[in-house]
Amino acid sequence: MSQRVVNSRINIPIDLIPTVTTIKEVNRLKVFVAAKMVSPGFISDAQGIQNICSLLKFSHRTVMTHMADLVRIGWVGHSPGTTTYYFRSWAWFYEKGMIYNRDAATADVRALNHFQSFLLSAKLALRIRKQELFERLNRDKSLPRKTVGVKSRKSAITKRGIASQDQLDTPRSNSGKNKLPYHGLSIQAMAQMLNLSPARACALKKEAVAAGYFRTNKKYNIISSHPTPIPNLRNLYLKAFPDKKNIRVMRDYSSTEPSILLVEQLHDEIIPVIPLKSVKYFKLYQKSVLRTISPFTFRRNFRMSSKVLMFEVG
């Protein structure tokens, strides 16, 4: 049965991703996102549940199990004795203090097929974007402010909400010479981001690359170059520097005469492709409050000059 999709794209707040650690929680969030895609905010009949089942290829029992969990934690409202379910807006999550930042990842229907790798990609994309912004604001204090692109480093960071060094977890770059040449992350760090095992994080990384959520480039630090092969070159180096890891010997075909390179393999460069969006949840919350005030009927008369919102008592 073909499913009916009302919203083909959903902005998922990245603040919700750290709360999703187990497979059950991943599938529960997937059901919630799919419900928002196939409904205008509520479903009132069995066809709505069937649309979710068709979109996720889940059984009716599985969807209803996750729906009961969503009702229990308050993400979904349910009218007793009916089949009507109401799906909370992101403004509700903001009101409950579950969303603090504006950052959201745009998910389409295809993302539901690789949902956990999509969540990992969203976390990586946000981390790299914050790291790039932090480096841009701290690259070289001698540059003119117009070149840097901000009026005040302090006010710019405060407005964007990423002033904390602990949030970024990146080394401070005081000059262009100290700037990180690329953005890479180890498998162990990826595993900690979603509280996964390194093996599972490695599998999700490969799945995300195959799905096109981000690209990776191999990175090496050249230690030495030799015109001819040297027996036991790698073992000799590791004996002299036992603390070094990921040492490899490889051929260099980039030059006119191929040579032997002793290199240290670094973390893969991560190039995010997944779209991120800044959503103003506070304004959405204000609008939801205006809609829920029952003693008043509102006549919205916006004056462009004063921007005053007029109310009329009903």
What is the predicted pLDDT for the residue at 282?
65
- Tell me what the pLDDT averaged over the chain comes to: 76
- Pair 56, 29 in one domain: yes
pLDDT at 2: 53
**For the chain, how many structural domains are there in total?**
3
pLDDT over 90, % of the chain: 22
Q: pLDDT band at residue 132, thresholds of 50, 70 and 90?
A: confident
> Measuring CA to CA, how many Å separate 86 from each of 27, 79, 110?
18, 8, 24
Q: Cα 4 from chain centroid?
A: 26
12 lies in the same domain as 95: yes
117 within 8 A of 208, measured Cβ to Cβ = yes
Residues ≥6 apart with Cβ < 8 Å to 249:
233, 234, 260, 261, 262, 263
Say what the pLDDT of residue 70 is. 94
Write down the pTM of the prediction: 0.70
Kindly state whether residues 130 and 207 are assigned to the same domain.
yes
Select from 38, 232, 211 the least CA-distant residue to 122.
Answer: 211
Reported confidence tier of residue 61, pLDDT bands at 50, 70, 90? very high
Alpha-carbon span 48 to 65, nearest angstrom:
15
In terms of residue numbers, what domain contains 287?
A: 1-101+280-314
Q: What is the pLDDT of residue 118?
A: 93
97 with 3, same domain: the answer is yes
**Residue 289 pLDDT level (bands cut at 50, 70, 90):** low
Of the pLDDT bands very low, low, confident and very high (cuts 50, 70, 90), residue 301 is very low
From the number of C-beta atoms within 10 Å of its C-beta (0-12, 13-18, 19+), residue 104 rates as: buried
For residue 159, tell me if it sits in a domain. yes
User: 199 with 238, same domain?
Assistant: no
Beta-carbon contacts of residue 79 (< 8 Å; ≥ 6 apart)? 86
CATH number at residue 307: 1.10.10.10
pLDDT in tens, 145-197: 554 444 444 433 333 444 333 333 444 444 444 445 577 888 888 888 888 88
The pLDDT value given to residue 163:
37
Cα(132)–Cα(156) distance, integer angstroms: 14
Whether the CA torsion 198, 200, 201, 203 is positive or negative: it is positive
Position 73 scores a pLDDT of: 92
Residue 145's pLDDT is what?
Answer: 55
Whether residue 108 lies inside any domain: the answer is no
Place of tokens 């959405």: 284
Contact 223, 262 (CB under 8 A): yes
Q: Answer yes or no: is 112 within a domain.
A: no
Instruction: Give the sign of the dihedral formed by CA 70, CA 74, CA 78, CA 80.
Output: positive
Does 161 map to a domain? yes
